[in-house]
Chains A and B, each alone.
Chain A
Amino acid sequence: MRKYLVFVTAILVSLPAFAGVQQKTATEDIVRAANTFLASLTTEQRQKVLFAFNDATQRARWSNLPTRFVSRSGISLKQMSPTQRDAAMKLLATVLSPMGFEKVKQIREADDANGSKSGPGGRGGRPPAGPPPGGQNGPPSQLGGPDGPGRPRGPQPFADDDMFGSDLYYISFLGTPSTMDPWMLQFGGHHLALNITIVGSQGVLTPTLTGAQPATYNLNGKIIRPLGRESDKALGLLQSLDIRQRQQAVLSYSVADLVLGPGQDGMKIVPEGLKASAMTVRQQAMLLDLIAEWAGIMNEASATARMAEIKADLNETWFAWSGLTTGEAGSNITAYYRIQGPHLVIEYAPQHDEPANHVHTMYRDPANDYGRALTK
């Protein structure tokens, strides 16, 4: 009997240590993948992707808008050689979970679908991971010239190739990849802004923006909904609420857009809706499962730590809904919702032009956006 107790205690004691080791190696893997990517770049390209860690302008240079309207820094997949693109994808696959990597891929592919929809003739069947249109985009010829990302986006012909596409996503670094010192990896473009801060064994994903238009599309005969689970799980949670709970959760007013979107760093608004402390255990589990759609974009070790933090705050976490309360899993909701806790803000905001098919979401930690709490 005593033997068992000792055994169990030993396992319990060593669990956190294991977690620590796992994350330690996770950071090591990420740094290795980042350095492999950086080593694949030309000197000129490397200068373009590296920023100082305290570069506040670059840190906040992200948006939901296409890169033609709000230019990003760093270099885009389009400007990379196939080898460089592979290294960039390998880096993303190391930093993110398989689910997160897939989500990012689907958001980028939605941009292909979007471009083909508005472009004449349509380019629907184009394999998005393949070489970019125009084929040759070898780095040296592209980067020195006026075609760099910092070029003024003045009056130029309305070319769809320049507007939408799965290769118009930019990568940049703040600080240098390190297992000890803080650094940041940014990856984004239209409807995507990943701001990942790595501090030693910790990885922080906030603030991150995801979005999609079309939010449902057909690729190789399969229906893809990049943010479909965000819609289905939230609807499931709403429909599990009883009348009294629903009265609190459903707001009496419409919410036209993200309240804490790009540019709203550091803002803390007063939460509204239904407190998770008034939810049943099952509903709380559903809420956590919904939150995991954002927290789980990161690799397992970071996501686990983040979910533990959010779980500890659960009683102080709010769920608010605005819009139609009906719907069914499998098709996107047209309603807005917000989940807010001491260390969490999630917003899901369908866009007015095509509510079920165009959505922006925001994921923040008001106390730790850009890992601020860890790097002070």
Chain B
Amino acid sequence: MRRRSATAIVALALLFGKSASAHRIDEYLQATVLDLRADRVQASMRLIPGVLVAPFLIAEIDSNRDGILSAAEKQAYAERVLGDLSMTVDGRSIQPKLISWSFPLPAQMRDGVGEIQIEYAADLPHGAPNRTLILANHHLNRTSVYLMNVAVPQDRHIRLLAQKRNEQQSFYELHYQQTAATDAGPRAAESDGRGFLQGDQFLSLFDLGMRHIAQGIDHILFLLTLLLPAPLLVLGSRWGPPARMRHCLLRILGIVTAFTIGHSITLSIAAWGVVRVPERPVEALIAASIFVSAAHALRPIFPGREAWIAGCFGLIHGLAFAATLARLGLERWERVAGILAFNLGIETMQILVVVLTLPSLLLVSRTRAYPIVRIGGAVFAGAAAVGWMIERLSDVETPVEMIVHAVARHGLFIAITGVLVGLACRFLPVSAEQATKHGLAQFAK
């Protein structure tokens, strides 16, 4: 495959000749900057395929050739890049672990302007003061050009001595000296007390937590779906008219709190390494939880016990959060603060989402249009959940990720439109109270 693509690229390059280009053409640029710490090395990689390389690269990433880069395919490609690296410190092999990855749209890659970003880290075992770190990148060697650099170390106990590279920069050797003081703990954190991370690390974990829930669209979808019927009363086996405002708020607060408590519990347990749960079943269970809450939004299955359900499913969602945190490979004593920062980040983002959607939810729930919103939302969430379940249980790809993300990108817009529609409905000839009465009368029939 690689040889074939290389030949084709050369042929195409000859064909295109020296046209007035504006972007990378027949190379795959892989730029790495290492961030060296006392006990671990972290790396950020930028991978930019040229216009002639992009079609081949997209084909390699899109393993089922459906034209969509699914979440699973992206992760698999990021893992493959890491698999093509070899890292040693003082002659001992070390394992890089993925932290995060992001992909441009295939169209951007085809234009030669798309940038894949991969962050990874590897733990460094203790060793002698004079150390040698070696990184070799074998990924798609024939078509690639490389840049390898090291960031100025933040730790003053690390002194860089020399960097060596081969001509292509695919092989990189870093000699450095590490003085003993670093054994006490990373950076100069000793004076601040050992149980706490340094400010910037805390902030970055907080940020990661926020991004995790913002990107972990399934967590948000679960929560929102569960909130959909929250403002309503139950009438027999169906959803009835809106409940009193105070009642609604209390119920929503209860659901959000229960979800928080649930995932905090499992996040803490899993992050301490007490239990290890494989990621895939957890992801599938999360999809199932969305399905259950979508069904509940259609017809009350567990009226009045939403908080309990939120808490139970929160336990499952916490396991997924823990998987992200585990990839960071924090030291045990750093974890307490780590979990705190990460969890605070998740909470903040969650509250932001709820605060943004709450006004429109409450307003619209007092209009006649609400059944449409509720049923539409539930069907959407249910369909997404089914798509995710299929994707996570079997290897079949579905476009669900793409669709949900497209909707989420306009989340703020939708929330604002909701508020406006809600307000408009309030001031329309049919007042909210009348609508309520009307609705009640309908249900009473």
Whether A65 contacts B22 by the Cβ 8 Å rule is yes
- Kindly state whether residue B88 has any CB partner on chain A within 8 Å: no
A190, A263, A353 pick with most chain B CB within 10 angstroms: A353
Is A300 an interface position by the 8 A CB rule? no
B191 CB to closest chain A CB (Å) equals 25
Give the docked Cα–Cα distance between A272 and B26 (Å). 28
Are B149 and A118 touching (Cβ within 8 A)?
Answer: no
- State whether A256 and B149 are in contact (beta carbons under 8 Å apart), knowing that A118-B19, A353-B21 are contacts in the complex: no
Assess A270 versus B22: contact at CB under 8 Å? Given A256-B27, A256-B29: no
CA distance A93 to B342 in the complex (A): 49
Mark out the residues of chain B between 360 and 409 whose CB falls within 8 Å of any chain A CB in the assembled complex. none
Q: A61-79 vs B: 1/0 string, CB under 8 Å?
A: 0000110011000000000
Cβ-based interface call for A253 (8 A): yes
Number of interface residues of A (CB under 8 A): 29
Pick the contact of B169 from A253, A270, A353 — CB < 8 Å? A253
**Interchain CB contact under 8 A, B113 and A268:** no
Interface size class, chain B:
20 to 34
Q: Is B410 at the interface (CB under 8 A from chain A)?
A: no
Task: Determine the residue in chain A with the shortest Cβ distance to B13.
Answer: A353
The distance in angstroms between the C-alpha atoms of A270 and B152, with both chains bound, is 5
Question: Is B31 part of the binding interface, using a Cβ–Cβ cutoff of 8 Å?
Answer: yes
Docked CA distance A126–B152 (Å): 48
Q: Among B31, B145, B163, B168, point to the contact of A272 (Cβ < 8 A).
A: B163
B36 to chain A, nearest CB (A): 10
A270 touches B151 (CB 8 A): yes
Looking at the assembled complex, report how far the CB atom of A317 sits from the nearest CB atom of chain B, in whole angstroms: 15
Q: How far is the CA of A209 from the CA of B23 in the complex (A)?
A: 15
Picked from B23, B33, B152, the residue with its CB within 8 Å of the CB of A69 is B23
Contact B165 A269 (CB under 8 A): no
Residue numbers in B under 8 Å from A354 (CB-CB): 18, 21
Known: A255-B147, A257-B147, A259-B149. A117 touches B165 (CB 8 A): no
Check B73 for interface membership: any CB of A closer than 8 A.
Answer: no
- Say whether B31 contacts A352, CB under 8 Å: no
CB of A213 closer than 8 Å to a CB of B: yes
> Is B192 close to A, CB under 8 A?
no
8 Å CB contact of B167 from A254, A270, A358? A254
Do the beta carbons of B152 and A352 come within 8 Å of each other? no
Q: Are A270 and B113 closer than 8 Å at their CB atoms? A: no
Known: A269-B149, A269-B150, A352-B145. A69 touches B111 (CB 8 A): yes
* Bound-complex Cα distance A272 to B24 (A): 26
Tell me, rounded to whole Å, the shortest Cβ–Cβ distance linking B203 to chain A. Answer: 14
| A114 to B19 Cα, complex, angstroms | 10
A267: chain B residues within 8 A (beta carbon): 33, 151
Query: Is A294 an interface residue, CB under 8 A from the partner?
Result: no
Option from B25, B31, B165 in Cβ contact (under 8 Å) with A253: B165
Interface string of A345-370 (1 = CB under 8 A from B): 00000001110001000000000000
Asked if residues B20 and A164 are in contact (CB atoms below 8 Å), the reply is yes
Residues of B close to A255: CB separation below 8 A: 147, 169
Q: How far is the CA of A237 from the CA of B165 in the complex (A)?
A: 25
Max chain B C-beta neighbours (<10 A), residue from A164, A253, A267: A253
CB contact under 8 A between A270 and B168, given known A257-B147, A353-B21: no
Q: CB of A252 within 8 A of chain B? A: yes
Residue in A65, A256, A269 whose beta carbon sits within 8 Å of that of B23 in the complex: A65
Does B113 contact A69, Cβ atoms closer than 8 Å? yes
Given A118-B19, A270-B149, A270-B151: A353 in contact with B25 (beta carbons within 8 A): yes
Q: How far is the CB of B6 from chain A (nearest CB, A)?
A: 16
Interchain CA distance A252-B147 in the complex, whole Å: 13
CB-contact partner of A65 in B18, B113, B145, under 8 A: B113
Query: A66 — which chain B residues lie within 8 A by C-beta?
Result: 22
Query: Nearest CB to that of A119 among chain B residues?
Result: B20
Q: Kindly state whether residue A163 has any CB partner on chain B within 8 Å.
A: yes
CB <8 Å contact, B20 and A269:
no
CB pairs A–B below 8 angstroms (24 shown): A69-B23, A115-B20, A118-B19, A118-B20, A163-B22, A252-B164, A253-B166, A254-B145, A254-B167, A256-B27, A256-B147, A256-B169, A257-B145, A259-B149, A267-B33, A267-B151, A268-B151, A269-B149, A269-B150, A269-B152, A270-B149, A270-B163, A352-B24, A353-B18
In the A-B complex, list the 5 residue pairs whose CB atoms are closest, starting with the nearest: A118-B20, A256-B145, A253-B165, A269-B149, A268-B152
Q: A213-B21, A270-B152, A352-B26 are in contact. List 9 more A-B contacts (CB 8 A).
A: A65-B22, A65-B113, A213-B22, A252-B164, A253-B167, A256-B27, A259-B147, A267-B33, A358-B21
